[in-house]
Amino acid sequence: MGGANHAALVQWQRAEGPLRSALAAFEDSDIPAWSGPAHLELGIVLRHVGKLAEARTAVRAALATLTQHRSPRQAEARAELRLFDTLLPS
């Protein structure tokens, strides 16, 4: 089962590894249109498993790529980043 499927089932710990693998494959293959959403999904998973600083970094990377590709998921990434304003110091 893939990372997105585990995340959909709220199996956050099980989602992290497959999402990291998928993201690495997208980045190695230079497919930013896919790595943006993968960064976002990984960031969400990392937030749920308590890796907040790393999660924020992943979501920031996601937003940059999603914005560059004019993805409708930009709004989701921005909303996710706003969560970190309350969870982490700047």
Express each pLDDT in 11-31 by its tens digit.
788 889 999 999 999 999 999
Dist. CA 74–CA 29, nearest whole Å: 22
CATH number at residue 18: 1.25.40.10
At 32-54, the pLDDT tens digits run: 889 999 999 999 999 999 999 99
Q: What is the pLDDT of residue 39?
A: 96
User: CA 78, 80, 85, 90 torsion: positive or negative?
Assistant: negative
pLDDT for residue 90: 62
Which two tokens mark 31? 């497919």
Alpha helices in 1-90 (DSSP H): 3-8, 12-28, 32-48, 52-68, 74-87
User: What total number of domains does the chain contain?
Assistant: 1
Residue 36 lies in domain: 4-87
